[in-house]
Amino acid sequence: MEWSREERYRKIEDITEEEYENIKQKVKSSPYRQKYHIQPNTGLLNDPNGFSYFKGKYHLFHQWFPLGPVHGVKYWYHLSSADLVLWEDEGIAMAPDTVYDSHGVFSGSALPVKDYLYMFYTGNTRDNNWIRNSYQCIAIMDEKGNITKNDFPFIDTIPEGYTENFRDPKVFKKNEKYYCLLGAEKENSKGTIVYYSSENLSSWKFEGELKTKFCKNSGFMWECPDYFEINGEAVLMISPQGMRAEGDLYKNVFQSGYLLGKKINFKEGNFEHEEFEEFDRGFEFYAPQTMEDPKGRRILIGWFGLPGIESVTDKYGWSHCMTLPRIIEVKNGRLFQKPLPELKNLRKSEKKFEFNLNNEKIKLDNSRRNYELKVNYKKIRAEKVGIKFRVGKKEETVFYYDLKNEKLIFNREKSGKLVKNFEGGNIRKCSFNKKELELNIFLDESSVEIFVNDGLEVFSSRLFNESDSNDIIFFTDGEVRVEGVLWEF
C-alpha cells in the first residue's frame, strides 16, 4: 500500500476513536507480536530516545507514527521500568504540536538535572515548498511526569557548510560543562559530528566538528551520535548512512557502529581512535542509545529495524521493535555487549543437556517459542560447529562457526517469511578465531539475538516463522563437546 503525504502527516488527534480502534484490532490479529521486547501498540516504532534514569525509574522514549507501518509525522512515546525488563506504558510524551516541531518530534536524548529530566530533540518542520527546517529543542519533565516544551529552540540555525540533515542532539555533562553532539551532513555530502557547549543549558556556543580519521567510506550522514567514557577509554557511537559494503562488512542499507579511542579533547575537538566497528553483525539494528544507571553500568538499547525497510508485519498495521538492553564493557581494546543480567527474571522451566557430536546431528525436541538458550562448544576438533533453530518442515535458521575459514555465519534464507530484496541478502558473516564457542541466544516470537563469547560479537535478526517451526538441531563436521541449558520465558 502506498501512503500519500497527506496520510503520512495525519495526526492521531485528527482521527476518530472508531478509526483508531480498527487499527488496534488489525494489530491484535498479528501472529508476530513479541512477548518480551518493546513494540508499538500500533503503527511504526523507530529510534530509541531519551534513554535515562530519573526519580527511581528507567525511562525510554521512542519515535512513533501511530497510524500505520510507515515513516509519517513522529511523536515521542514514553515507557518506564524499575528493572529494564517489565515496562509500564506511559503513553504519548510529546506530540508535533508547536511551530518548531510541526512535522515531527525527531530523535534526541535526555539528561536528569536536579528535580527535572531535560529532553533534547530535533523539531522537524516543512515550509510551503516542503523544504525541511530543523530546530534543536528542549522539553522538561517533572517528577510527576508532566512535560513542558520550552518556547524557543536552544539551537535555531544551522552553521554554514552543513545541510538540513542536522539532528539528533546527544547532551551530556563533562568537567562542569554541558556538551551537545549533533549528527550532520556537510555540503560536500560527507557525514560528521558537530558539537556545542554550554554552562547553563540555556546559552550554547558552536564549537565545530569533532576531528576524526574516519573519512574513507564513511557515508554522507552520521545519525544518532552518542558518547561515553569507560575504563579510561572513549566510545563515540554513530549511525552512518551511505557506506559501501566491503566484503563481509556494512551489508545493511545503513550501518551502526562506534569509534573506540582516547578521551576526546573537547577544547580542540580532537579524537584519536581505532577503526570503525559495527555494533551488530546481523540484519536489523540501528540508532542505538546508551545511558549510565545508578549501578555505574553503561546500558545500550537499539532500534530492531532499519530505515526504508519494509516489514513482514506491515500488513497487520505495525512494524519494528526494540532490542534487548545490553551492558557495554570495554576490555583489552574491544567493546563487549552482554545481555542485561535482569533478563534472568524471565526464566521459568529449565532444561539442561550435554552430549558429544562426531560428524552428526542431534535434535533437541522443543515446542517453546520464547526462550533463552546457552550453548558451549568445547574441545572442538572440527571444521564446522553450529546450531539450527526454528526448524520445521520447510524452515530453519542456521548459525555456525566455520573454523576452516575463521568465520561466524548466520543464514536466514529459509527462516520463514522474509522481506523482499533485503539489502545485502540474507546471510551475514564476520571474522572469528577462537578455540571455543559460547552462544547466548534469546528467541522471542519474531526475533533472535545471538551473543557470542560473552558479547564479543552479536547477531540480531527479525524472524517470521510458522508457529510449529520450533525444533533445535546441533550439528558438526568433526568432533565437539556440547553443553547447554534452555530456559522457557
**pLDDT profile of the chain (489 residues), mean per 10:** 94 97 98 98 98 98 98 98 98 98 98 97 96 97 98 97 97 97 98 98 97 97 98 96 98 98 96 98 98 97 96 97 98 95 97 97 93 98 98 97 98 96 96 97 98 98 97 98 98
**414, 396 Cβ separation under 8 angstroms:** yes
- What was the pLDDT predicted at 369? 95
Is 151 an active-site residue?
no
Residue 423: Cβ within 10 Å count: 14
Length of the chain in terms of residues written: 489
pLDDT of residue 405: 98
CA nearest 105: which of 53, 147, 145? 147
The C-alpha atoms of residue 431 and residue 248 are separated, in whole angstroms, by 8
Q: Evaluate whether 401 touches 437 at the Cβ level (below 8 Å).
A: yes
Report the alpha-carbon distance of residue 471 to residue 388 in Å, rounded: 8
Q: Are 224 and 240 in contact (CB under 8 A)?
A: no
**pLDDT value at position 56?**
97
Predicted local distance difference test score (pLDDT) of residue 1: 75
pLDDT score at 26: 98
pLDDT at 365 (0 to 100): 84
- Whether the full predicted model's pTM is greater than 0.85, yes or no, is yes
Please give the full DSSP string across 95-106, using - where no structure is assigned: -S-STTSTT-EE
What's the pLDDT score for residue 57? Answer: 98
Taking the alpha carbons at both ends of the chain, their separation in whole angstroms is 35
CA 440 – CA 108 distance, rounded (Å): 31
pLDDT at site 440: 98
> Which one from 47, 101, 226, 444 is the annotated catalytic residue?
47
343 SS3 class: helix
Residue 351 is predicted with a pLDDT of: 96
Q: What is the pLDDT of residue 108?
A: 98
Cell of 204: 550554547
SS3 24: helix
